[in-house]
Structure 1
Amino acid sequence: MKILHVYKTYYPDDVTGVPRFIHTLAESTYKRGFHHEVLAPSAHPSKNAIKISNHKVFQVKQNFRISSTSISLSILSKFKSLSSDADVVHYHFPWPIADIMHLVSGISKPSVLTYHSDIVRQRRHMWLYNPLMNAFLDRMDAIVATSPAYRQTSCVLQKRLLQTQVIPIGLPERQDVPAGILSAMRAKVGEGFILFVGALRYYKGINYLLQAARATKLPLVIAGKNQDLRLDLRSLPENIVYLGEVTEMEKEALLTLCSGFVLPSHVRSEAFGIALVEAARAGKPMISCEIGTGTSFVNAHGETGIVVPPADSKALADAMRRLLSDRILRQKMGTSARRRFLQRFHAGVMAQNYTEVYHQVCERAAQRA
């Protein structure tokens, strides 16, 4: 079965977030007989299809961007060509250009949409976008939310509960960390610290985390791109270490060395929290904030970690103190986190669930024909 994914960016330009999810899904279902292709704009598109592991990427020229939306003047014709040969078209929301392509092209192929996030930062434009969005979503054969919490709290999905099912994002098993990388990272940051990994974007709650670390004086390691220079490197106290961007293996080394993981995101732009899944995969207890999204589904309060109110540095500080002061609690929560990963967030579980969705929409389409 051939699946065509459509999104605003993809490998090799972007290997995070939704592109990473698409890659994992494509590779984890390949041996189940699914062949995936991805259509995405690029500032520097390749003339030929790009082979990424066991799937193909087709790039079209990105002409400009408006409000984080990639615009390509040539994507519609390429979409028509690729979709004509696909068994299922898999969209990834939000990207309004996909809405337009689906409605204008008039394709009748079975369609699946993974609802990754509400539109948060550009919500002031929703009055203009709503008619297009509703027409698009109403035509989907299946909508997939990434957590029960998001399905229940999204104003958009609340109107489509019968149309929407939940399939959590999954990850493959972690790779073994080379001894040299682990030793080098241990020499740099030591062990037993609280870890944050991720780009320092506006919704990550970094300022609240810094306030908590300053108040507790507990060791905190931060790894990730200093997005928009949100972190003032000149004013960090001695207990806070900023590493900048790290490789995948360096990140796994940090997860091995840390005593706990923190994700202080305080607004709904953090729709799932894949970094929490990485921490659970490594068997680490977690601290996160209750923002009505998938973060509290990944990190089950009292079981795999501690969930605190958002934008509350004191609550973060108290959670950090509690974790680092109680070794038995850390071990118990870390073991539970690893178990929850295997049960709910392993790539194999995700692959099985999407396999069923793909077959279901094709069967329903055949019955309509």
Structure 2
Amino acid sequence: MKVLHFYRTYYPDSFGGVEQVIRQMVVGTARLGVSAEVLTLTRDKSNFELEFEGHQVHRAPLNFEIASTGFSWTALSRFKELAKAADVVHYHFPWPFMDVAHFFGNIKKPSVVTYHSDIVRQKYLLKLYQPLKHCFLNDVDRIVATSPNYLATSPILERYKDKTEIITYGLDKSIYPAPSMQLLEYWRQRVGEKFFLFVGMLRYYKGLHILLEAAAGSDIPVVIVGDGPVEADLKRQAQALGLKNVHFLGALPEPDKVALLTLCYALAFPSHLRSEAFGISLLEGAMFGKPMISSEIGTGTTYINIADQTGLVVPPNDPLAFRQAMRYLVDHPAEAAQMGIKAQQRYDELFTAEQMSRNYLGLYQRVLNKR
């Protein structure tokens, strides 16, 4: 079986949560006999075809962007060509250009859409996009919601619930590089051990301004890994608050990220808007057996982090509540350790890449058989 994944960004250009999920899908289903390829856009003008972890990545040049939506004239024809050779086309929503490419290419192959998130921010452009979006979602065979929480709270998925099923994200810990003792010691000396860790892109919906306010007036160390559009604003805020206990480390290589996940005391995940549909770094925290703090925003974050079991859940956009949660975990190490154990157990039960891959293989087979 040959599957073509289509999304706007992918490795090695971008290392976000959706890219990580696609990577895990491709590698995991390959172990089950699926031959998967990825078509994506790139700003790199020198290399449009490459191999990554044993699978082919096709890259079309990015021509321009409108409201974070990438467009590529080359991708229209390239997608049509690659889809012809695929048994199943696997779309990753949202990406309005993808909808255009679907109809431009007159794609009639069995199709699956992983619905990663509602479109939350671009409300005016969303009104223009609505007709195309619904035509696209009507035309595909099956839609996948990534958690029961998101399916229950998304008005779009409610409209398509008869063709939607739930397959949660999954991660394979074995493909994460093991940090050396020297690397662990380097970070131990630099940031200590009893720190709260945030990992992810620095975007508006990640709620890092809330985390900085929570860190103010306390001595609890906070380590922030990642870069993104709001990085400069956050650093100005930290300076204005006089924060000495917050470390901005920028984007780091995978071994360094794993070293910090290994060393951290707990994971801080302050996302406060529905744009955060799941939370891959939150799931990574569970995979590494760490207690977590997240906010209740009606999405998959609270499917990963169960309040008072795997961590603490606070109201969104509430720095005081977040600070109190951090203080509770610091002051109750036995309870924090038990939450970390339960987080890892929940990961083992629900969120492995093997489970996700088997579920997607079954879905691919069903859409093929139906056709």
Structure 1 range deviating more: 216-225 or 319-328 = 216-225
Cross-structure match for 1:354: 360
TM-score normalized by the length of structure 2: 0.94
Counterpart AA for 2:20: R
Cross-structure match for 1:317: 323
Distance in 2 (CA, whole Å) between partners of 1:48 and 1:271 is: 30
Cross-structure match for 2:95: 95
Identity in percent: 45
Cross-structure match for 1:167: 167
Cross-structure match for 1:214: 216
1:230 lines up with 2:233 in the alignment: yes
Contact 1:46 1:59 in 2 (8 A): no
RMSD: 1.5
SS at match of 2:321: helix
Cross-structure match for 2:295: 289
1:240 Cα deviation from its structure 2 partner: 2.2
Counterpart AA for 2:44: H
Cross-structure match for 1:184: 186
Distance in 1 (CA, whole Å) between partners of 2:294 and 2:199 is: 13
Distance in 2 (CA, whole Å) between partners of 1:191 and 1:234 is: 23
SS at match of 1:203: helix
Unaligned runs of 5+ in 1: none
Cross-structure match for 2:256: 250
Aligned with 2:246 (options 230, 240, 251)? 240
Residues 12-70 of structure 1 show CA distances to partners (whole Å, capped at 9, x for unaligned) of 22222222211111111112111111112222345653111221111222211111111
Unaligned runs of 5+ in 2: none
Q: Which runs of 4+ in 1 moved over 6 A?
A: none
SS at match of 1:255: helix
1:132 lines up with 2:132 in the alignment: yes
SS at match of 1:28: helix
Residues 301-357 of structure 1 show CA distances to partners (whole Å, capped at 9, x for unaligned) of 111001100000111011011111111111110000001111111111111110111
Aligned residues: 365
Contact 2:16 2:201 in 1 (8 A): no
Contact 1:215 1:317 in 2 (8 A): no
Cross-structure match for 1:336: 342
SS at match of 1:250: helix
Structure 1 range deviating more: 7-16 or 287-296 = 7-16
Residues 244-266 of structure 1 show CA distances to partners (whole Å, capped at 9, x for unaligned) of 22222222222222211110011
SS at match of 2:312: strand
Counterpart AA for 2:345: R
1:203 lines up with 2:209 in the alignment: no
Counterpart AA for 1:334: G
Contact 2:16 2:200 in 1 (8 A): no
Contact 1:45 1:60 in 2 (8 A): no
Structure 1 range deviating more: 344-353 or 41-50 = 41-50
Residues 206-252 of structure 1 show CA distances to partners (whole Å, capped at 9, x for unaligned) of 12111111133322222222533122253442222222222222222
Equivalent positions of 1:300-315 (< 5 A) are 300-315=306-321
Change (3 A) 1:47 1:336: closer
Counterpart AA for 2:233: R
SS at match of 2:205: coil
Cross-structure match for 2:265: 259
Contact 2:4 2:86 in 1 (8 A): yes
Contact 1:45 1:59 in 2 (8 A): no
Distance in 1 (CA, whole Å) between partners of 2:134 and 2:47 is: 34
Cross-structure match for 2:277: 271
Distance in 2 (CA, whole Å) between partners of 1:305 and 1:47 is: 44
Distance in 1 (CA, whole Å) between partners of 2:229 and 2:41 is: 23
Contact 1:42 1:59 in 2 (8 A): yes
Counterpart AA for 2:267: F
